[in-house]
Structure formats: C-alpha cells, structure tokens
Amino acid sequence: MLIFLIARFSSSLRTRAQLGFRHHYASHIYYSYSSVAKLSQSNRLEQTRDENHSFTVSYLMNSCGLSAKVAGEVSKRVELKDSDKLNSMLNLLRSYGFLDPQISKLVTCYPRVLLANPEHNLLPRLRFFQSIGFSASEMSELFSYNPKLLMLGLEKRIIPHYEALKSVLHDDWKVRKCLKCSTWSIGSYDVKNIIPNIKFLRDEGVPESLIFSLLSRRANVAFMNQSKFGEYVKFVKETGIEPFKAAFVEALVVVTQVNKSTWELKLDTFERFGWSREVTLFAFSRAPKIMAMSEKNIADTMKFLIDKMGLRLEDITGNPCILRYSLKNRIVPRWSVVKILKMKGLIKDDISLTTIIVTGENKFLEDFVIKFQESVPQLPKLYKGELGPLPEVQA
C-alpha cells in the first residue's frame, strides 16, 4: 500500500512539473508573440506617419505652390490627409479671388487653415467680408496679411469688432482700411470700450485723421480698459506732446506696449549715457519710438554714436530719431564710408553726422558712394559690408 501511495505521489509531481513547463512555455510564446505584435504595430504607425508626412510635403508643394524647403518646415506644423477636403478649401479660396501666390503666403503663415471646414468655417467669413464691401482682391489681401482672421469666431470676434469700428468711424472705406491693417492678436477685450475711449481722445483735441491713424495701425489700443486708457493719454500729454501732432498717437501706442518696470530700465539706460530723465522725456516727445527700443539696442547705439562717431549728447537730443535707425545696417556702414572719405580729405571734417544718418538711401549713395567711387574703388563693397568693418570704424 505504501509503495502504491509513493508511486502515485511521484506521478503527481511529474504531472505538475510538466504542466508548469507547459505553462512557462506557453507564457514565453505569448509574451514573444505580444512583443512581435507591438513591434509590428509600432512599425505600422511609423510607416503611417512617414506616409502622412510625405503626402503633406507633396501636397504643399504641388497644390499650394510651396518650395521643397518651405514645405518641409510647414509640414512640421500641420499634417494633411484628406485631399478631397483640402482641394475643396483651395477651390473655395480661388473662387473668391485668391491668387496662387496669396494662397502660398496664407498657407505658409497659417497652415492650419487647410484643416478648417470649407463650408462651416471659411465660407461664412468670406461671405461676411464680401457683404461689407470687400472686393475679391481686397479679401485676398486681408487674409494674406492676417490669416488668423479665417479662424477667429465670426459672431463673437469679427462682427463685434467691425460694428465697433463702424460706430466711431461712420465710413465704410475707413472701416475696411482698419480691418485690413488692424491688429487682430487681441486676447480678450470689451468692444464697448472703443466709444468712450475715442470720445476721450476727441475731447482732448486729437483730430479725426490721427484717430483714424491709431485705429488703422493699433486698434487694440482703443479697445482697452477705459481707466487705463485715460492714464496713458494723460501721461503722454504730460511729456509735452500736443494732441494734434502725429507724435501723440505714436507715443500713445508705445506707452501701452511698455510696462512700468521696463520703462524705468530704459530711462536708467539713457541716464548712464548722461541724459537726465527730463532730457529723455523731451527726446521721447520728439521721437516716441526710441522707448520701444530694447535696453541693449539703446546702449549699443548710444555708445557707438558717442564713442565712435564723436557725437555730443546735445546732437542726439536735437535729433533723437537717429537712434531708431539700424546700427548694423545703416549707421555703421554709413560711418565707415564717411570716415574713410574724411581720412582721405575728400569731404569736410565738419560735415553733419546726424544728417548723414537721416539722409535717404539714394541720396546717400549718390553723394558719398558713387561720387567718390573712382577715388576710393572699395567704397561700394565697404558700404555693403563685403569688406567687413575697418579697424578704425569698427563698432
């Protein structure tokens, strides 16, 4: 009996061992199959992505007129799939007067427009702008200049914006002009603010021509909070700028874009070069955009004008607009030309350097480059920066 039990127990152990082996083997097969399946799925996904990317680049080049390089860059921002839907979008744009170069520009700037629903997203906007007097060519210009208009809410953003502008301008042509040039990157605003804000400007003596200039360049300024708007207008007046001068609107735009701490940093930067705050504000009243410059740009330009060109502070104060010209593309190249001409005795030492900077491009070329090219053959290359900065005029 004992022998029988031992034999039965041993048999049971062998059976369990076999079952365990089979289970382990089956598990190994299952996990191997699962890994292969996952790898296969991953490969399929990668292949699908490659195919989609290839189609996107091809469509952007062949249907939207983009170069291979631009199409490659744009394909990183959008993935195209349905050629029928895409063709419907392009056909709709063309039916409203969009030319191929304008479509290329539109797609390059805002490729997601291709993903919009032609009937539900694009068509209502095109019909609206057509209804308020935009011609086919004007619409294509409008959307090419600001493609996000195609995606902004018609009922919540575009129509209220249009009605608000119409309420203060009372002229269809001016409203269309503002819509074409206006800043549409406005996060959120209350369109009702424009009426009291524009009234405030009129009460302060700002003429209609300058109000139109403001709305056509930076309409978002007129939509801001009323109390804030009033503070900015008051500040600009305190700098001494008369409301009937173009500089008033320029200054208003600048102060709304520069926060208080940044404003103080810019005042400090000018102060390091010898301008008091009063002098800086006086310069600002004559050339408001100097306070839109970065602190580094202010410092680099002031340093070059004073240390390299030898301008006095009063020279810059008398003509502060020279600060707004590009140091790299205008001031340094012109100074390089003038410096070498002075060294060779071809022009007088007392020539006005501020006039040199503000002189128009063609006039400068004629008077200082072409005129002396025979005497100094390297002048054209020097002016274009092809010779590099000379040691004595290097910024």
Say how far apart CA 368 and CA 365 lie, in whole Å: 6
Structural domain contains residue 227: no
Say how far apart CA 267 and CA 265 lie, in whole Å: 5
CA distances, 332 to each of 132, 278, 287, 360 (Å): 48, 29, 21, 15
For the stretch 39-59, pLDDT in tens is 555 555 455 455 568 899 999
Structure confidence at residue 140 (pLDDT): 79
Structure confidence at residue 81 (pLDDT): 87
For the stretch 331-340, pLDDT in tens is 999 999 999 9
Cβ 198 vs Cβ 252: under 8 Å: no
Structure confidence at residue 387 (pLDDT): 72
Please identify, among 151, 183, 206, the residue that sits at the C-terminal boundary of a domain: 151
pLDDT surpassing 80 at residue 83: yes
Say how far apart CA 301 and CA 103 lie, in whole Å: 40
Structural domain contains residue 206: no
Structural domain contains residue 253: no
Give me 64's structure tokens.
């939207």
Mean pLDDT in residue range 306-324: 95
pLDDT surpassing 90 at residue 137: no
Give residue 229's pLDDT band: very low, low, confident or very high (50, 70, 90). very high
pTM summary value: 0.76
Mean pLDDT in residue range 322-346: 94
Q: What CATH number is given to the structural domain containing 69? A: 1.25.70.10
Structural domain contains residue 35: yes
Please identify, among 151, 168, 203, the residue that sits at the C-terminal boundary of a domain: 151
Structural domain contains residue 105: yes
Number of domains forming the structure of the chain = 2
Structural domain contains residue 191: no
Please identify, among 151, 180, 206, the residue that sits at the C-terminal boundary of a domain: 151
Q: Is 373 helix (H, G, I), strand (E, B) or coil?
A: coil
Mean pLDDT in residue range 153-158: 88
Q: Which domain holds residue 65?
A: 27-151
At residue 41's C-alpha, the angle toward residues 38 and 47, to 5°, is 140
Structure confidence at residue 194 (pLDDT): 94
DSSP category for residue 113: G
Give residue 231's pLDDT band: very low, low, confident or very high (50, 70, 90). very high
From 326, 344, 328, 322, select the one nearest 394 (Cα to Cα): 328
| Lowest-pLDDT choice from 39-43, 222-226, 275-279, 304-308 | 39-43
* Helix 159-169 and helix 172-181, axial crossing angle in degrees, nearest 10: 130
